[in-house]
Structure 1
Amino acid sequence: MIAGIAAGFTQRWEVLATCLFLTGFFGGGLGPIVSVYLVENVGQKHRLLLVSIGGFNIGLLFAAAVAYLTQEWRLLVICANSIAVLALLIMGLMKETPRWLVQSGKEADARSAYLRILQVNKKTRYRLTTNEWETVVEGAKHKEARKRTFWHLFSSTKLAMYTLVMCLSLFSLSSISTTLLYSLGDLSGNVYLNSTLYSLLRWGIAVIVSLIDRFTPSLGRKHIIGTASFIIVICHIGLTVCEFLGVVIPNLTVAFVFVAAAATSPIWNSVNLVIVELYPTSMRSIAPGFMSIFIRAASGMAPQLLLLARLWKPGPWFVNMILSICFLIVFAAKIPETKGRTLPEECDKSKTAAPTMVEQPLQKVDEEEAERSVLIKQ
């Protein structure tokens, strides 16, 4: 926050670059941590809804609205980073997860946090008895802490497959989203207004989809991702054909871009949840952190795709069309549904070295029973 606000006042490009680097460096680590914190504290029914209402999209909408109102980059940078003050105030009201508090020897604080979360969620009738609480606490205290590294994401065939598929998925999503965002400058109309409408559409669609997810138990993460990815493929086919044939219909191009942008929003939210729900506890922060490298790589590649249009106009859309098709097929084939499943706790150690995922039951979790101890066990 401090580096970001300072960037709005600097007069030298060297200082500006340093401030933006620090902002990106520390800001990049927040995403994985926030996702893990949310999943380990929020019930399954509400996760996607909370991510959609208050996640990346609302920040993008705020930045786009400020840009439209000010149309001056210094004010935009200052306002966009100043909103972090509100986040700091909210953080003061939040508590660490009961699991972490128990493992840190703060049993009284863990008990307080556990009861507070149950009270907020109106689930106090499911709280553990004194004996049950002591049993769970003793188990968590004596459980061996396992330190994982990026290498463990590839330590078994199943984990390696999950990791490679999710890296490809995030790389494709980032390339598509960045290209669509940069293409706003080429669309007809005011670029600031287009950006605001673009952000509002992304946020609105994400919230609508999350509400459908909340009240439709049979609608899984893969259903959302598959449907939205298919829409993106169709839009990119349309954009590629229009550019290849030299068809100039501004309204049609705008429609394709905005529909594709709207479809990326629920995919981002769902994929981020899938990553956190897919990996065991000891890897739940490492996995999204490692995969964010591919997000940044695709963000750097996307502007080069726009330069490709100088050589072949359909180039950017054609490349992203191929990426979206690969993403749709590979994700559907290799990644299991995670909605309604228990979170993987740990890996089993095989006799030959490579840890493998503990197999989880496929049936839907009985939330009324799981609610009693989920805050500690996860």
Structure 2
Amino acid sequence: MPDPAEHDRQKPLRPRAASAAKKSTWLIYVFGALGGLNWGYDTGVISAALLYLREDLDVGAWIEGTLVAALMIGAVVGAAVGGYFSDKYGRRAVLWATAVVFIIGPVGMALSPEWITLTVFRFVTGIGAGLAALILPVYLSELSPARLRGRTTALYALAIGVGQFLGFVIGLAFAGDISAGEVDGWRWMLGLSVVPSLLFAAGLLFVWETPRWLVQKGREDEAWEILHYDRDAAEAEREMLEIRTTIEAERTAGRTVREALTQPWVKPALLIGLGLAFYNQFMGINTVVYYTPTVLQTVGFSAEDAVASNLIVGITHILAVIFAIAMADRLGRRPLLLIGAAGAMVSLAVLGIAGLTMLPGEEELEAMEAAGQTPEAGAVGVITLVCITLYIFMFQASWGSIVWVMLGEIFPLGVRAAAMCLATTALWAANAVVAFGFPPLLDAFGVGWVFLGLAVSTLTGLIFCWVKVPETKGRSLEEIEAGFRQTGSLAVVPGTKRVVQWETDRPRD
């Protein structure tokens, strides 16, 4: 393997050009993360839109679940095909395809005459969300140096949070008096997601391809220049050598993608990725995001107050992700995941217990309905809103942000897109199941039992993290891959609560 320092094409940028490039690098990370803005907006605004479109289009719980789940089913499709296209045509090309889909979907949703057409365009928008969830963590992790990777990849989660908050604001702005027949504001709510889509497309005019993909395609001159944008000469040389070494090892192995994914040393990384993706959804986050107004109505809030309460959820989400960005490269990924799962579990358990013990029973509700009365948001309403807010902070400061960082880190370069495809497909499939099943489950069992069930699911996620998830803070992508290659398994160091190390006494694969 030639020494990159001696390669005549590996000359650093001129000092002035290098300085200008470094100053603009954070703008590239921000532009790259903007795809999360649209996904966040769509997932945020639907919670308010549901209160109105169910009246305007006369839909019940099952159709409501179908409308919400359509986006996730489309995302499964987007995640399933995105890996192939990203390996063949590049990360940046798939980002452009994502932007186009994100522009088409909102216009179709706003103009939908009935729920079937709306479902179709929700599905189309979901394809874009799946592509974004697949490619953006990979793109940001491959583009940024190891010392910044936690913060830059978490920008994607921040964009999702900002998008959700904007969705909540627009939902409140177009909320009407349902009793007065003001129910068509949902069209503006859904259609205005074309604005973040256009911002994302504009941002793509300024982003680069990733060095790792360029080296895979034999375009080392371009890769070398990009590496120098936010790395000093020694760091760029070391990373270029690591990339070349990794790619050469994968080419020498000569395996197909399927064979590579089933190698013994790859399986632990794949298991961790699939587990993180699964629990990212089965801890109930999108149940809370999509249905917060519905749940608050159940405990006595009016439709307008329930939609307004979403602003609290949105602000909490943004603050939590900012906290995660600050701590991901300091405290580490694994401690944040463990603390977040514990806090989310407690919040869900309290929600469940309050729902079972403090809400009026069926007979009491029937008596109130007969008397023309409606439940009021008393103590149980306050507890519900406080617990939802605490849950949002604990989850988004950990699993909602760090999972995207780790999914972009742990998979080997040669199968990164394919493995990310499997993980994001699993994530969106779990999202669809949760979103589709929540309205019927809420009708059948009530708030209490549903949230207790999610608390149990979160406990299993906490156990999974404790047993399986390693710490990746401060390691280059190539170092993480080398760790898996050397071991074939991971081990928690006995007697500690924070350290997961690679076993190094096993032979290489």
The alignment's TM-score, normalised by the length of structure 2, stands at 0.60
Secondary structure class of the residue paired with 1:249: helix
Q: 1:26 to 1:206 in 2, by over 3 A?
A: closer
Sequence identity percentage: 18
Q: Which of the numbers 436, 445, 449 marks the counterpart of 1:312?
A: 445
| 8 Å Cα contact 2:141/2:152 also seen in 1 | no
Q: What is residue 329 of structure 1 aligned with on the other side?
A: 463
Query: Which residue identity lines up with residue 326 of structure 1 in the other structure?
Result: T
Tell me the distance in 2 between the aligned counterparts of 1:346 and 1:319: 39
Query: Which residue identity lines up with residue 48 of structure 1 in the other structure?
Result: G
Q: Which of the numbers 119, 123, 135 marks the counterpart of 1:21?
A: 123
| 8 Å Cα contact 2:224/2:236 also seen in 1 | no
Tell me the distance in 2 between the aligned counterparts of 1:139 and 1:325: 37
Query: Which residue identity lines up with residue 108 of structure 1 in the other structure?
Result: D
Does 2:475 match 1:341? yes
Q: Which of the numbers 73, 93, 105 marks the counterpart of 2:218?
A: 105
Q: Which of the numbers 147, 171, 174 marks the counterpart of 2:278?
A: 171
Once the 2 structures are TM-superposed, how far is the Cα of residue 19 of structure 1 from its aligned partner?
A: 2.5
Q: Which of the numbers 157, 169, 175 marks the counterpart of 1:65?
A: 169
1:79-103 residue CA offsets vs partner (Å, 9 max, x unmatched)? 2133122222221211112232233
Residue ranges of structure 1 left out of the alignment (5+ in a row): 364-378
Q: What is residue 251 of structure 1 aligned with on the other side?
A: 382
| 8 Å Cα contact 1:170/1:291 also seen in 2 | yes
Written as runs of structure 1 = structure 2, the 5 A alignment for 1:55-134 is: 55-71=159-175, 72-118=185-231, 123-124=232-233, 126-128=235-237
Query: Which residue identity lines up with residue 6 of structure 1 in the other structure?
Result: V
Does 2:406 match 1:297? no
Secondary structure class of the residue paired with 1:284: helix
Once the 2 structures are TM-superposed, how far is the Cα of residue 146 of structure 1 from its aligned partner?
A: 5.5
Tell me the distance in 1 between the aligned counterparts of 2:351 and 2:490: 44
Does 2:299 match 1:184? no
Query: Which residue identity lines up with residue 258 of structure 1 in the other structure?
Result: T
Q: 1:261 to 1:11 in 2, by over 3 A?
A: same
RMSD: 3.4
Q: 1:136 to 1:297 in 2, by over 3 A?
A: closer
Tell me the distance in 2 between the aligned counterparts of 1:339 and 1:137: 22
Secondary structure class of the residue paired with 1:272: helix
Deviates more, 1:54-63 or 1:109-118: 109-118
Tell me the distance in 2 between the aligned counterparts of 1:362 and 1:326: 22
Q: What is residue 206 of structure 1 aligned with on the other side?
A: 321
1:84-134 residue CA offsets vs partner (Å, 9 max, x unmatched)? 22222221211112232233233433333233343xxxx3575549xx979
Written as runs of structure 1 = structure 2, the 5 A alignment for 1:29-48 is: 29-48=131-150
Deviates more, 1:282-291 or 1:31-40: 282-291
Q: What is residue 107 of structure 2 aligned with on the other side?
A: 6
Tell me the distance in 2 between the aligned counterparts of 1:288 and 1:347: 19
Q: 1:172 to 1:356 in 2, by over 3 A?
A: closer
Query: Which residue identity lines up with residue 221 of structure 2 in the other structure?
Result: A
Written as runs of structure 1 = structure 2, the 5 A alignment for 1:353-364 is: 356=488
1:331-357 residue CA offsets vs partner (Å, 9 max, x unmatched)? 11112111122323479999xxxx958
Tell me the distance in 1 between the aligned counterparts of 2:394 and 2:485: 40
Q: 1:33 to 1:223 in 2, by over 3 A?
A: same
Q: Which of the numbers 185, 197, 200 marks the counterpart of 2:312?
A: 197
Query: Which residue identity lines up with residue 104 of structure 2 in the other structure?
Result: A
Once the 2 structures are TM-superposed, how far is the Cα of residue 148 of structure 1 from its aligned partner?
A: 1.6
Tell me the distance in 2 between the aligned counterparts of 1:201 and 1:349: 40
Tell me the distance in 1 between the aligned counterparts of 2:249 and 2:335: 40
1:249-289 residue CA offsets vs partner (Å, 9 max, x unmatched)? 22112111111112111212111222222221122222232
Tell me the distance in 1 between the aligned counterparts of 2:326 and 2:241: 37
Tell me the distance in 2 between the aligned counterparts of 1:105 and 1:286: 20
Q: 1:284 to 1:22 in 2, by over 3 A?
A: same
1:288-309 residue CA offsets vs partner (Å, 9 max, x unmatched)? 3212233333333335244334
The alignment's TM-score, normalised by the length of structure 1, stands at 0.79
Q: What is residue 257 of structure 2 aligned with on the other side?
A: 148
| 8 Å Cα contact 1:235/1:259 also seen in 2 | yes
Q: Which of the numbers 395, 401, 405 marks the counterpart of 1:273?
A: 405
Aligned residues: 347
Max radius of gyration: which structure? 2
Q: 1:135 to 1:251 in 2, by over 3 A?
A: closer
| 8 Å Cα contact 1:220/1:339 also seen in 2 | yes
| 8 Å Cα contact 1:280/1:345 also seen in 2 | yes
Tell me the distance in 2 between the aligned counterparts of 1:113 and 1:281: 18
Does 2:338 match 1:237? no
Deviates more, 1:45-54 or 1:70-79: 45-54
